[in-house]
Structure formats: C-alpha cells, structure tokens
Amino acid sequence: MKEAYLYEKLDDNKVRCNLCNHRCVIGDGKRGICGVRENRNGTLFSLVYDKVIAAHLDPIEKKPLFHFLPGSTSFSISTVGCNFRCRFCQNYDISQMPRDQNRIEGEYVPPEKIVEYAIRQGAKSISYTYTEPTVYFELALDTSRIASKKGLKNVFVTNGFMTEECLEEIYPDLHAANVDLKAFSDKFYRELCGARLEPVLNTIKKMKEMGIWVEVTTLIIPGYNDSEEELRQIARFLISIDPNIPWHVTRFYPTYRLTTALPTPVSTLRKAREIGLKEGLKYVYTGNVPGEKGENTYCPNCKELLIEREGFFITQYRIEKGRCYNCGYEIAGIW
C-alpha cells in the first residue's frame, strides 16, 4: 500500500479524495467509488500502487494516437479499478474487478521496473491505459517522473474525469492523452457511466492549455449517442478549442451490460467523419473497422494521402519534418 496523493483529512476520521471530480468523501474503513482507494484510520491509501494487472508493448496507434510519435511502440500498463461504471466497458474484467468481484489483483511491479521494461523493449513512451489512470495516479506519477528523466514520453488514455489539481501535479511529465468524450449529453454520462459531462469538457480544455498533445475518442453506440446533432455538437466543441484536435469515431460492439444495442453500422462512422470534417475539424478518423480509408491521415490543404494505416500499423508515411510532402502544409502533431 501507499499513502494516497491529493487528499485532505476531515473530521471524524473521514477524508476527501481530490484526484477525480467525484471528490469522494470516504469514511473510516471505506473505499471511494473507484474501489481502490481506502481510508484507514483517517489516512487514505492506494491499494494498487505497485499491483500491475496488465503490461504490453503496443503500437502507439492502438491508444489511439495518430499524431504522436506515429509508428513507435508504447509500453502500456494498468492496475484494476475505475472511477466510471460504464455499462459498455471493453475492459470490464479488470476495470470493474474491485466492484463486481470484490478483488484486487496484480503483480508487484514498482515504477523503476516499469521504466526499465519500457527501455529494454525499445518503447518511446509509457501509456497508462486499459483502465483509468487517475485511480492509480500515485503509480503513474512516480513512473512518469522517472520515465521523463530517461527520455521517455508519458501518455494517459483516460475518461478525462480527473481534477485540475491532478493535472497540475503531473505537469510537465504528461506529454499526450487520448480522452474519451463518450457523448455530449449529461444524461448519457449519468445513466450509462455514473459520471458527469462538464468535468470531461473542462479536462480537454485544460490539457490543451497546458500544452499536452490531445486526441479525442467517441465510441458511437446506436440509439444512444449517434444522432447527427450530437455528433455535430462534439465536433463544434472540439473546434472551439482547436480544429487540429484529432477526433476518433469508433465502432461499438455489444459487451458487458449493454448487449441490447447493435454494432455500429460503418455508414454511421462515415457520416460522423463527414460531419466532423464539414464542421471544420482537420483530422477525423474512423476506428475498429480495419481497411476503412478513414484510418488514414490526409493533408487538410491539398488532400494528399500522408499516412496510410492498416489497423494499428503504418503502411505508408509521407510527412517530412512535420509537413505535407506535397504542398508543405504543417501537419499538427508530435512527429
């Protein structure tokens, strides 16, 4: 166990966790919504500090990040636990383990070892992913600081529900993030995720202000968040921050506790991509449909194909010093 970061002590041995926007007030002997932070006699502890449940070497494109060190690999880790309760979670077996199974599992891997493994495998970055990195922030923060000193970049794949204090604590050792913007409806967030929309919007804004490279993913679920108006609202919100933010619109498959909805039609993904581009976003990608041309990067200026992808792998790369090989237009990203 490790004493938690970013919490405050209250009366009657209670504590308030300030890592995410639930800001749980936790009684003595109780845990927060995430299920992995426990109050013991007025001191908050992380129960997953060095308990890694998943560790893989992934293409950075799998995060998905298409404009951040493309073609590189990222050593990807997670612990169990999550501060959301998404009915459609793709990794529910580990994210919801503390809640559904009342268990916390994982192998002992301290921050120094994580960085050592990443370097040994030739990774350019470490990604804190699979579940929600905010709930294992102590491990992510300590690892990120060591990684930065060793020349590695750090990536969050996140639901974006962390507090500003959390982001400020890890700055400047967080270099990129893919934020799930699950819908543009507070009702959706409350009923399907057990959370709220506004803090996620604020996180995206805050990350951009801090200079973190941001890409956004929306899993499109038929009948829930697939209306043209809602997709247009998401696109307009992103444009209001920066039209260079890449938006990934990805295909849903029935899973966990949302098995009644159908898989997303490819036509819906194409329509979402069209809406995003028409509204003014420069880079919109379709996901979970290998072979779709929407996986590729095109120059916003001359429309030439710049990066051709097949799933998570690059088959053609034509960006030269961050610019289009054909017209010289600057392509937003970390190349």
Angle between helices 228-241 and 266-279 (to 10 degrees): 40
Over residues 271-284, the pLDDT tens digits come to 999 999 999 999 99
Q: Are 319 and 330 in contact (CB under 8 A)?
A: no
Residue 311 has pLDDT above 90, yes or no: no
Over residues 212-267, the pLDDT tens digits come to 999 999 999 999 999 999 999 999 999 999 999 999 999 999 999 999 999 999 99
Distance CA 278, CA 271 (A): 10
Q: Which CATH superfamily does the domain covering 51-295 fall into?
A: Aldolase class I (3.20.20.70)
Q: What percent of the chain has pLDDT over 70?
A: 100
| pTM (two decimals) | 0.97
Helix (H, G, I), strand (E, B) or coil at 125: strand
Q: Whose CA is closest to 124, among 191, 190, 75, 56?
A: 75
Over residues 21-65, the pLDDT tens digits come to 999 999 999 999 999 999 999 999 999 999 999 999 999 999 999
Listed in order, strand segments (DSSP E) in 234-312 are 247-251, 284-287, 297-298, 305-310
Distance CA 85, CA 155 (A): 22
What confidence tier does 308 reach under pLDDT thresholds 50, 70, 90? very high
> Is 253 buried (19+), middle (13-18) or exposed (0-12) by CB count in 10 A?
middle
Q: Are 251 and 298 in contact (CB under 8 A)?
A: no
What is the structure's pLDDT at 48?
98
What is the structure's pLDDT at 277?
98
Helix (H, G, I), strand (E, B) or coil at 64: coil
Q: Where are the domains of the chain?
A: 2-46, 51-295, 296-335
Helix (H, G, I), strand (E, B) or coil at 78: strand
Q: Are 59 and 46 in contact (CB under 8 A)?
A: no
Average pLDDT, rounded, for the chain: 97
Q: Are 304 and 327 in contact (CB under 8 A)?
A: yes
Average pLDDT over residues 144-172: 98
Tell me how far apart the terminal alpha carbons of the chain are, to the nearest angstrom.
38
What is the structure's pLDDT at 268?
98
Q: Are 296 and 273 in contact (CB under 8 A)?
A: no
Residue 1 has pLDDT above 90, yes or no: no
Longest dimension (CA), the chain: 66
Q: Which residue has the tokens 């097949």?
A: 310
Helix (H, G, I), strand (E, B) or coil at 157: strand
Q: Are 74 and 144 in contact (CB under 8 A)?
A: no
Q: Are 52 and 77 in contact (CB under 8 A)?
A: yes
Average pLDDT over residues 169-185: 98
**Angle 106-203-67 (CA atoms, 0-180°, nearest 5)?**
80
Q: Which residues touch 38 (CB under 8 Å, ≥6 apart)?
A: 26, 29, 30, 31, 32, 44, 45, 47
* Partners of 320 in beta bridges: 323
Distance CA 212, CA 201 (A): 15
What is the structure's pLDDT at 72?
98
What is the structure's pLDDT at 236?
98
Give the HSE-up count for residue 227: Cα atoms under 13 Å, Cβ half-sphere: 8
Question: Can you say whether residue 96 is alpha, beta or left, with left for phi > 0 and alpha for psi between -120 and 50 degrees?
Answer: alpha
* Partners of 180 in beta bridges: 217
Residue 200 has pLDDT above 90, yes or no: yes
> Is 257 buried (19+), middle (13-18) or exposed (0-12) by CB count in 10 A?
middle
